[in-house]
Structure 1
Amino acid sequence: MLVVLLGLSTLAVIGGLYTAVNQPWIGVILSPGDDGSIVIARVHRTDLDPELSAGARLNAIGSPETGSMTITAIDIIEEPDTLSSYPALNEFRARQAALANIQDQTSVWLDVTTAAGEAKRISLAPFATRPAWSLPFEFWLQVFVGYAGLAVGGWVWSLRRREWGPFYLAVAGAALMVSALSAAIYGTRELSLPGELLLLLSGLNHAGTVAFGAATICLLAVYPKRVASNAQLIAVWIATAVAAGISIAQWAPSQSIGAYALIVIQFVAIGALIVVQLFLSRRNPVARAALGWFGLSILAGTSVFIFAIAAPLLIGLEPQASQAQAFGVILLIYAGLALGVARYRLFDLGIWAFRLGSYLVGAILLVGLDAFLIYGVAVERIPAFGIALLVLGLVYLPIRNAIGMRLSSRHSVAPQSFPQLVEIALERRPDRQSAKWQDLLIENFNPLTIETVAPVSKAALIDDGQGLLIPGHLNLPPLLLQFANSGRRLFSVRDVERAQHLVDLISHALDSGDAREQGVRMERTRIARDLHDNIGAQLLRTLHTPDLQRKDVIVSETLADLRDIISNAQGNGMALDEVLAELRYETNDRLALAGLQLSWQFTGMAETGVSARLAHTLRSVVRECASNTIRHAHATQLCIEIVERSGVIELSVSDDGKGFDEADPKPGRGLNNIHSRILGDGGTLSITGTQGTRLHARFPLAESGVQIEKLAHR
């Protein structure tokens, strides 16, 4: 359907363009003078007499076949319906027919008064057709308005073909096309049109205008709520057709009543229907938002019409907008209707209302101040416009920006929400955590209902802004908020941004809390591992030492290890040779007490530094291996080889004991702790049980050398 409508619209534009250019063309642009005469504003043709130039006054036009005819500014008015009476309108049409007959001759003359004040008669041959490039901007603007009206109406109707509202919107678009295209042809004529063509185009323009009003009335009578029966809607069209026929047939009491009475009545009916629909939709935020587009567009359109056209006429000034610009206003109204019917971005109505309203107020202030300076203070036009623009920039725009920033701040996360987010993140009970999170959402959005839904990845709007999806995280379930402000408005894009900001903040807080919990668990595991590997090994040494004095030394070392575990003092580095020297002495002492021999070999640089963490790992691994050898291996010797090269430490520990069955290994807590420590330091580990037990580990030094280098310079 949309393709069909666009095709018909394109054909209509082509037909209108063909009609506009298929008229005789003198090659000048005419404008009304201050004294009711016609002034040549511009000359397009280069083959004309040089005396026919911009600024000359055109007094008469004639030809040998028709004679001469004096012309006035009324002959080039845009809209003949603005004439005061039917006789004046009929005289205008008759003069148009006569002028068109003159222009259709092969040779015509123009009686002009040149810019120097000299009266001259200039002969020329009119072109049979008018080039398209000579058509003014107003022609193309009205063509665009008509095409856009039908295209938008067809687009909305194609989206919602089973609804009456979009159908009447499409009818209004078609009516706008008829009205705008016909006005584009006769409103931008060079001087005249044939009488029959002018009568047809004027009739089409009036019929299209009142049909647009009738379609809008029917639209508001069925959307969002149906308030009229089909019979009443048919009656609207019958009454519109009768009134339009009376106007075209000139049966009305006056020309102004015939041309504008029905339009005024239609506008009143449209306003009344909007009020009725607002009352009926007071509990439906989607319908209210759609009506908001209707009201906003109509308010903006009528405001422009009043301040740019009606008000200047009432105070005796020229209108500040042409008929073509008035059609732009109608398109603005129509676009608002289309957005409401299509339910496009209903949730952003508040933002658009502020933007459109602020721009409208700015335009009105600019025009009003400019007019005041010109007519009230007698300032020249160009300086007056510059002063008005300067005042607008220095006074109005800062106020507008301040209001806009204040409105935007309402959609950001309030500072008082941050303590609540922290409190939610620190809450350990999932039910209380979820309840506090919902309380925070209620405080920010005041939804009518909250319910749990399926998981979603990001905050998003659903149902034209009736619902707002909130992603879940960890113990917080995904939620659906419905009807913002207890159903008084729709959720907006700003609400989505604020909700996502809250979700990002609470996710970060929860992840931080979870990371803290994991850190606590890891620290507990480390302490338990250190207690087993180090404190256990030291206590075992104490148990096997008969010398009381030696026992005191071992207990002192054990307490030192215990303090190291408690304080977690792993940030201080130390020299690798010092660590290994202490570890060799300790290991040899333990093995000697148990009747075992120690073979110790170190290859590397003595000044190599290791971190306290890596030193602790080395001690723990060697101590655990020594403890296992003493308790389980039934060995006579333990061999330890340590090699440091290229930033890596390789540790090999082997004994000549009984080993273990590699097909059925049964690692104890000690070996598991060794494995965890080495992996935690980024190392690797392998253990074999044939011909004794052999362990091979690799440790990257990482930042150990940097830490030792700092110690060496103290």
Structure 2
Amino acid sequence: MRPAFATPGLLLIIVAAFCAAMSFFVISAGTMSVPWFGIKLAAAPDGQGVVIAGYSDLAYFPEPQPRIGARVEAISIPGGAPVPIEALDILPEPDSLSSYAEINAFFARQSLLNALLANPQEKIEIHAIDPLDGTRSVTSAFVEFRPFFALPDGFWVQLLTGIGAVMIAGWVWALRPRKLAPMLFLVSALGMMMSTATSAIYANRALAIDGNLFSILQPINSIGAVTFGVAMIGLLLIYPVQLVRFAWLWLLLPVQAGMMFLIVTQTGFGPSQLYIYIAAATLVILGAIAAQWWQTRHDPAERAALGWLGLSIAVGCLAYTVFGALPILLDLPIGIPQTHVTGVLIVIYAGLALGIARYRLFELGDWAYRILFYTSGAILMLLIDMALIVVLNFDAAPALGLSLALVAFVYLPLRDWVWRRLTARRRLPQHELFSAALDVAFAPSPEESDQRWRALLARLFDPLEIEATAPVTTPVAQDDGLILDLPAVGNSPPLRLTFPHSGRGLFSPADVKLATNLVTLTERAEESRQAYMRGVGEERRRMARDLHDDVGARLLTGLHTADERTRPTLQAALSDIRAIVSGLAGEEAELERVLAEIRHEAARRLEAAGIALDWPLPETEAPPFRLDYRIHKALTSAVREIVSNVIRHSGATELVVTPEQHANRLTLRFADNGAGLPPAALKGETTGYGLRSLRQRIEDLGGSVSIGNGVGTTIVLSLTLTLAANPPEPGVQAAMAALDSPP
């Protein structure tokens, strides 16, 4: 358990101090323990000797320099016997030799050569032969400790790879020091630093270092590689999901101890067993990644973490195996210097840091696949190039051209197809997106607008859940991309989308951008709709005033002079105009007033036909419901149609109307004592009763109509109501009052 004082900041300081100390030690060893004389040596093209590859600007040569490319035959101290120089003397990694006997002989030669170079500020003699005319020459060079600025690029690649890995892993561990996965992550980085730091010292030597020091550094390098592999396998067995019990991880320790024993005691299969272990560990790592991929198939967050984690490990380990281990195991020419191969492993730590720390993880999904495909393409091209040169003996230029052609015409089309299959989402063309936004904004009702908005979101993102949430101002992804919160749009409340793409992915920055554009587009469409509706409202109010001022005034004048037969017709016309004026003005009529008008009109018509009406007045005050024009008109027309049928077809002497109101549901039951309707009329097979249009009119408003025969005919109307909004404007109230005033 971490002590209370061990804060992440303090742990990071400790990690940084350790890296600084290691850097100082490696740089000091790389300068103070490595004799240097200003000449860069390289293996001869035929592999049988050593040639001069270049000169350092920091070195001084008192005599004419041999030309670059001259073969170095031997070195000596002034007056001493020359010591021949062999190609193996500048071998970067001695574990590529075939036996431990050869390695020990290599260390002995390193001690011999180092003895000639052990006196700084002294001269040595370089015995060389010119490659053009075959003349031999002896050139003097001063031996000194290697200057800091003369450290080669391979030294810095290896040092910075190890330091960078520990810094990244230490950062993750400092954030989660009690978790086993970050601990294993840090152990693997320390193993890598053991390999890269030691290799930086001896693999970048000018010619030789002390053989005893070499014999210590080289096993440490191998143990570091084993530690890296064991820790990485352990990490993938428990992260992002636990594949095995924690107790089983102890089985990795015997593997570690066994490999260390074989390395230190120089037993087993030989030096190449390290590279066999690296290749086997890579296969186990890839198998663990495949198992993790299967186990996380139902967990989008862990699958996304694995996508980046697995990509980083696969690319790093495969690249190191292909360019580092396989050429040695298969005795192939090495295209990339051994001192540079370890640099590819830093990819693992950069990717794993993002995967384990989960820092803005949802931004990495698409990039993970892109990097995978491009890296695979580069590796494939190099492998094809290597195969053409080694197997088919192609020249370098034709081999490179053919490999580029194969990658361009075979791999890239296949990569694009896989990319579309893996990462394609439900994207709409721009014109369809614009049309969908207009459909949401111009829906005929708020409910329909909300349904269309949710359906559009489901079509675009395919989330497992869509639910109302707290208000937000702009679309924002949360919980590593598992959640996308959207602001209120039109008639829809703020919504939360979870588990996109049927739970198989996360919301990416592209999804957030798409949602932002969609919200903006829909809001602008809604603003356009509101502006349009304001214009429509103004036109309707103008028409309402015209109806009131012209038609209504004429009907009122006629009502004053009409006889008793004409007066009810004119009053009904005035009532219709009043409803039309109210509808055009966008106002709503009070339910109590509408029912009173319908009851009054029905009573007059039935009285004129000699039919009694039993429609009791409400005993209690009804809630302040209002009816818009559509409901008002439909209800009035429905009651008129029912009354007309009673008068024309029923032969009844009485009509009983029973109103009931429960919550926001209004029910009107009409029952007469007439002859009843014929069966064909009840089924809607005959015309003349208007029952089909009656049913259609009510059902269009979400209501229901029930028709049956009893003593007479029974018809039940049922409608859903809404609570009162704001009352009509004073001007509209005055217009409606004028139409309702008695003659």
Check whether TM > 0.5.
Answer: yes
After TM superposition, give the deviation of residue 238 of structure 1 in Å. Answer: 4.6
Match of 2:117 among 103, 111, 117: 103
Match of 1:352 among 343, 367, 370: 367
1:77-131: per-residue Cα shift (whole Å, max 9, x none)?
Answer: 1111111111011111111111111111433222211234445352535332111
Match of 1:341 among 331, 337, 356: 356
After TM superposition, give the deviation of residue 394 of structure 1 in Å. Answer: 8.5
Going from structure 1 to structure 2, the CA distance change for 1:502 and 1:222 (only over 3 Å counts) comes to same
The answer on 1:74 being equivalent to 2:84 is no
Q: TM-score, normalised by structure 2?
A: 0.66
The answer on 1:91 being equivalent to 2:101 is no
After TM superposition, give the deviation of residue 203 of structure 1 in Å. Answer: 2.2
After TM superposition, give the deviation of residue 536 of structure 1 in Å. Answer: 12
Which whole-Å CA distance do the structure 2 matches of 1:469 and 1:239 have between them?
49
Q: How does 1:249-268 map to 2 (within 5 A)?
A: 249-257=265-273, 259-268=274-283
Deviates more, 1:343-352 or 1:214-223: 343-352
Aligned partner of 2:23 in structure 1 is 13
After TM superposition, give the deviation of residue 72 of structure 1 in Å. Answer: 0.9
Q: Is the 8 A contact 1:139 1:185 kept in 2?
A: yes
Match of 1:521 among 537, 552, 569: 537
Q: Is the 8 A contact 1:43 1:53 kept in 2?
A: no
Which whole-Å CA distance do the structure 2 matches of 1:31 and 1:69 have between them?
17
Which whole-Å CA distance do the structure 1 matches of 2:330 and 2:270 have between them?
23
After TM superposition, give the deviation of residue 192 of structure 1 in Å. Answer: 0.7
After TM superposition, give the deviation of residue 138 of structure 1 in Å. Answer: 1.2
Which whole-Å CA distance do the structure 2 matches of 1:129 and 1:7 have between them?
26
Q: How does 1:118-157 map to 2 (within 5 A)?
A: 118-120=134-136, 122=138, 124-157=140-173
Which whole-Å CA distance do the structure 2 matches of 1:377 and 1:169 have between them?
42
Aligned partner of 1:486 in structure 2 is 502
Which whole-Å CA distance do the structure 1 matches of 2:65 and 2:215 have between them?
35
Q: Is the 8 A contact 2:94 2:103 kept in 1?
A: yes
**RMSD across aligned positions (CA):** 3.6
Q: How does 1:300-379 map to 2 (within 5 A)?
A: 300-305=315-320, 307-309=322-324, 317-368=332-383, 370-371=385-386
Structure 1 gap segments, 5+ residues each: 538-667, 673-714
Deviates more, 1:424-433 or 1:367-376: 367-376
Q: Is the 8 A contact 2:128 2:136 kept in 1?
A: yes
After TM superposition, give the deviation of residue 380 of structure 1 in Å. Answer: 5.2
Residue identity in the other structure for 1:55: G
Q: TM-score, normalised by structure 1?
A: 0.69
Going from structure 1 to structure 2, the CA distance change for 1:238 and 1:372 (only over 3 Å counts) comes to closer
Aligned partner of 1:40 in structure 2 is 52
Which whole-Å CA distance do the structure 2 matches of 1:196 and 1:493 have between them?
56
1:249-278: per-residue Cα shift (whole Å, max 9, x none)?
Answer: 212232222x23443443343233333333
Going from structure 1 to structure 2, the CA distance change for 1:48 and 1:76 (only over 3 Å counts) comes to farther
Residue identity in the other structure for 1:295: G
Structure 2 gap segments, 5+ residues each: 1-10, 554-729, 735-743
Deviates more, 1:184-193 or 1:262-271: 262-271
After TM superposition, give the deviation of residue 50 of structure 1 in Å. Answer: 1.7
Q: Is the 8 A contact 2:275 2:325 kept in 1?
A: no
Percent identity, aligned pairs only, is 36
After TM superposition, give the deviation of residue 197 of structure 1 in Å. Answer: 1.7
Aligned positions, number: 545
Residue identity in the other structure for 1:21: T
Which whole-Å CA distance do the structure 2 matches of 1:278 and 1:410 have between them?
20
The answer on 1:424 being equivalent to 2:424 is no
Give the match's secondary structure for 1:263. helix
Give the match's secondary structure for 1:255. coil
Going from structure 1 to structure 2, the CA distance change for 1:503 and 1:224 (only over 3 Å counts) comes to same
Going from structure 1 to structure 2, the CA distance change for 1:371 and 1:177 (only over 3 Å counts) comes to closer
Aligned partner of 1:276 in structure 2 is 291
Going from structure 1 to structure 2, the CA distance change for 1:358 and 1:228 (only over 3 Å counts) comes to closer
Which whole-Å CA distance do the structure 2 matches of 1:439 and 1:35 have between them?
70
Aligned partner of 1:555 in structure 2 is none
Q: Is the 8 A contact 2:467 2:497 kept in 1?
A: yes
After TM superposition, give the deviation of residue 246 of structure 1 in Å. Answer: 2.1
Q: Is the 8 A contact 2:238 2:244 kept in 1?
A: yes
Residue identity in the other structure for 1:430: P
Residue identity in the other structure for 2:53: A
Going from structure 1 to structure 2, the CA distance change for 1:526 and 1:201 (only over 3 Å counts) comes to farther
Which whole-Å CA distance do the structure 2 matches of 1:329 and 1:231 have between them?
32
Going from structure 1 to structure 2, the CA distance change for 1:456 and 1:400 (only over 3 Å counts) comes to same
1:632-664: per-residue Cα shift (whole Å, max 9, x none)?
Answer: xxxxxxxxxxxxxxxxxxxxxxxxxxxxxxxxx
1:433-467: per-residue Cα shift (whole Å, max 9, x none)?
Answer: 21221111112211111111111122221111111
Residue identity in the other structure for 1:68: P
Q: Is the 8 A contact 1:412 1:498 kept in 2?
A: no
Give the match's secondary structure for 1:41. strand
After TM superposition, give the deviation of residue 237 of structure 1 in Å. Answer: 3.1
The answer on 1:452 being equivalent to 2:464 is no
Residue identity in the other structure for 1:43: Y
Give the match's secondary structure for 2:178. coil
Q: How does 1:370-409 map to 2 (within 5 A)?
A: 370-371=385-386, 381=396, 385=400
Q: Is the 8 A contact 2:282 2:317 kept in 1?
A: no
Q: How does 1:409-558 map to 2 (within 5 A)?
A: 410=425, 412-414=427-429, 415-525=431-541
Residue identity in the other structure for 1:167: M
Q: Is the 8 A contact 1:39 1:57 kept in 2?
A: yes
Give the match's secondary structure for 2:272. helix
Aligned partner of 2:225 in structure 1 is 209
Deviates more, 1:471-480 or 1:521-530: 521-530
Which whole-Å CA distance do the structure 1 matches of 2:731 and 2:361 have between them?
65
Give the match's secondary structure for 2:342. helix
Q: Is the 8 A contact 1:63 1:102 kept in 2?
A: yes
Going from structure 1 to structure 2, the CA distance change for 1:521 and 1:409 (only over 3 Å counts) comes to farther
After TM superposition, give the deviation of residue 535 of structure 1 in Å. Answer: 12
Give the match's secondary structure for 1:3. helix
1:45-68: per-residue Cα shift (whole Å, max 9, x none)?
Answer: 342432433111111122269743
After TM superposition, give the deviation of residue 19 of structure 1 in Å. Answer: 0.7
Which whole-Å CA distance do the structure 2 matches of 1:392 and 1:267 have between them?
25
